[in-house]
Structure 1
Amino acid sequence: MSEEEDAPVVLRRATAKDARAAADVWLRSFDAALPSVIRPRTDEEVRDYFRHVVVPLREAWVAQAPGGEVVGVMVLEEGELSQLYLVPERRGHGIGDRFVALAKRRVPEGLSLWTFQVNAPAHRFYERHGFTAVEWTDGARNEEREPDVRYVWRP
């Protein structure tokens, strides 16, 4: 690991300039973590969604590495942790832990989130942070049509 990779990342609110980089983090992370899940949107549609919806209309945060590279994205939406994605090479370095701690500070009354049932590493991660699985679905309500699970955290 390089010295730059050891340097702490900064968590900050996303700006319009971050939309493309945040979308690219999402795309890289999704493809690496969920290779069996079919994405219903093209890369450009995902980038447009981040540019026109996620960054301007949601509480979007990025993790910025020294040098300016965006290496993580988290999105909060009305008590839901709706997105938390890291570039694959930055997993396991505490950035996700910091994002969850930030989410809990921002929404101290409790959070919920959805993750796919096939994403066992995400289950372990969220359970380690005090989230409890409360609902399993067949995926009929998500775009990917992939079975998912809802987690909640209450203080």
Structure 2
Amino acid sequence: MNAAEPGQPADHVVLRRAGATDARPAADVWLRSFAAALPTVVSPRSADEVRGYFRDVVVPFRETWVADAGYRDGIVGVMVLADDELSQLYLAPGWRGRGLGDRFVGLAKERSPQGLTLWTFQVNKPAHRFYERHGFVAVEYTDGSGNEEREPDVRYVWRP
């Protein structure tokens, strides 16, 4: 899989609902993004467990969206919605800063016009800035005892 040219806009990338064949590439985006964005956070799941979770749970039973860059680059982003929760938003590392995250958040707001909530780790300062730029407000900070990574996190809320 080739990475897009640095700075190339993501206008040609299609956001679409994930199908069964998207589970592995979506999980691989999650794995690469998690490793790049959160190097100090230890995932409690192996790569194979993450892929199985996407295959058996996320794609078939959650509202899962992918950013599809076509035959050259394939799946470069994944977003998962659970009712009014934006539960996952991950982009392939080479695709950050090109507008895909903005497009995903816009889609999430369209799908949940009454409001959204999400969690992110406290160490993920770029995510804080990103969500705050999109109108999300931090409403709760925890010590991480409620997540499987045991990493302090923060809950954000967006209300129209």
TM-score band, normalised by the shorter chain? over 0.9
- The aligned residue for residue 8 of structure 1 is 12
- The aligned residue for residue 157 of structure 2 is 152
Q: Return the offset for 1:78.
A: 1.5
Q: Does 1:82 align with 2:93?
A: no
Q: How does 1:23-102 map to 2 (within 5 A)?
A: 23-67=27-71, 69-102=74-107
Secondary structure of the equivalent of 2:67? Answer: strand
Q: 1:6 to 1:122 in 2, by over 3 A?
A: closer
Any stretches of 5+ residues in structure 2 without a counterpart?
none
Of stretches 19-28 and 65-74 in structure 1, the one that deviates more from structure 2 is 65-74
Q: Distance in 1 between matches of 2:9 and 2:61?
A: 31
Aligned amino acid, residue 73 of structure 1: V
Q: Distance in 2 between matches of 1:57 and 1:117?
A: 28
User: Aligned residues, how many?
Assistant: 155
Q: Distance in 1 between matches of 2:118 and 2:80?
A: 11
Q: Distance in 1 between matches of 2:9 and 2:137?
A: 32
Q: Distance in 2 between matches of 1:87 and 1:154?
A: 28
Q: 1:5 to 1:105 in 2, by over 3 A?
A: closer
Q: Distance in 2 between matches of 1:3 and 1:45?
A: 33
Verify the 8 A CA contact 1:7 1:66 in the aligned structure 2.
Answer: no
Secondary structure of the equivalent of 1:29? Answer: helix
Which consecutive segments of 4 or more residues in structure 1 shift more than 3 A?
Answer: 2-7
Q: Return the offset for 1:8.
A: 1.5
Q: Return the offset for 1:3.
A: 10
Q: How does 1:134-149 map to 2 (within 5 A)?
A: 134-149=139-154
Alignment TM-score, normalising by the size of structure 2 = 0.93
Q: Distance in 2 between matches of 1:137 and 1:24?
A: 28
Q: 1:4 to 1:123 in 2, by over 3 A?
A: closer
Q: Does 1:22 align with 2:37?
A: no
Q: 1:124 to 1:6 in 2, by over 3 A?
A: closer
Q: Distance in 2 between matches of 1:20 and 1:126?
A: 27
Q: Percent identity?
A: 70
Q: 1:2 to 1:91 in 2, by over 3 A?
A: closer
Q: 1:6 to 1:108 in 2, by over 3 A?
A: closer
Alignment TM-score, normalising by the size of structure 1 = 0.96
Verify the 8 A CA contact 1:59 1:75 in the aligned structure 2.
Answer: yes
Any stretches of 5+ residues in structure 1 without a counterpart?
none
